[in-house]
């Protein structure tokens, strides 16, 4: 049985089909309930784009655990230059890494290396979408036709990403079973509130349930 654990900002620890996965593992973020010393195992580390608050502690985690890093080709090349095992992808069809099917999706944002992305993780237990840092865009509806989403992690903070109003519309495009807000409240500039996001989703009369996780909380998948 797998789980999803929120580590603050946009960082998540995921157990899927017996694999331990970290996505955008900025463990030193102000909300984080753990330290690097608490991480004793990782199989895959996914980086959605090359900004410091998303690359985070990926290098240290991969060096410590021997995890495979996954990301857009240019990020993977950077990880390989640091002596890490890496799988470079691009936005398109799935790759399979340690038994987990991985799809990189577009994200409307910026990145110091390569293109910004979201990521869909497909296992037997669940299909999980981490939107990365993105503004509002429509294409996720097409991906969800191919890979129906069980759990979606959606940025709602505004300023750099969608705010709650845009994120509510975004979720209505692909109707995941559950939507978990992220990338809010870490800094004053990220003004979006989880309650506003839940209201925006609710008023659209879609079957999606919003789950608000506090840093350190986890749910079973």
* CA angle in degrees (0–180, nearest 5) for 17-151-70: 60
For 3-212, CATH number out of 3.40.309.10, 3.40.50.2000, 3.60.15.10, 3.40.50.620 equals 3.60.15.10
pTM over 0.85: yes
What digits encode the pLDDT tens for the residues 86-106?
999 999 999 999 999 999 999
pLDDT recorded at residue 201: 98
Tell me the CA distances in angstroms from 12 to 24, 26, 143, 150, 182, one per residue in order. Answer: 7, 9, 21, 16, 10
What digits encode the pLDDT tens for the residues 34-65?
999 999 999 999 999 999 999 999 999 999 99
Average pLDDT across the chain, whole number? 98
Task: Please report, for the chain, the start and end positions of each structural domain, with discontinuous segments joined by +.
Answer: 3-212
Q: Which residues partner with 86 through β-bridges?
A: 69
Q: Which pairs from 109-113 meet CB under 8 Å and 24+ separation?
A: 109/49, 109/133, 109/134, 109/135, 109/160, 109/161, 110/49, 110/51, 111/49, 111/50, 111/51, 111/72, 112/50, 112/51, 113/50, 113/72, 113/74, 113/75, 113/78
Tokens of 40: 């004793």
């Amino acid at each position: 049985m797998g789980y999803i654990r929120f580590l603050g900002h946009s960082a998540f620890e995921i157990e899927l089909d017996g694999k331990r996965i970290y996505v955008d593992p900025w463990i030193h973020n102000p909300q984080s309930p753990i330290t690097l010393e608490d991480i004793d195992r990782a199989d895959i580390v996914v980086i959605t784009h090359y900004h410091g608050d998303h690359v985070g502690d990926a290098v240290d985690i991969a060096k410590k655990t021997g995890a495979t890093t996954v990301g857009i080709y240019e990020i993977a090349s950077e990880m390989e230059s640091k002596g890490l095992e890496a799988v470079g992808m691009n936005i398109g069809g799935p790759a399979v890494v340690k038994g987990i099917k991985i799809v990189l999706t577009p994200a409307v944002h910026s990145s110091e290396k390569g293109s910004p992305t979201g990521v869909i993780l497909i296992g037997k237990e669940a299909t999980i979408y981490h939107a990365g840092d993105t503004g509002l865009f429509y294409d996720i509806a097409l991906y969800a036709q191919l890979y129906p989403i069980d759990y979606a992690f959606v940025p709602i903070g505004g300023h750099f990403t969608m705010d709650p109003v845009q994120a509510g519309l975004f979720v209505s495009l692909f109707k995941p079973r559950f939507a978990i807000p992220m990338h809010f409240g870490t800094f004053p500039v990220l003004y979006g509130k989880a309650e506003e996001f839940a209201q925006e989703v609710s008023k659209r009369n879609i079957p999606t349930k919003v789950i608000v996780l506090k840093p350190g909380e986890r749910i079973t998948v």
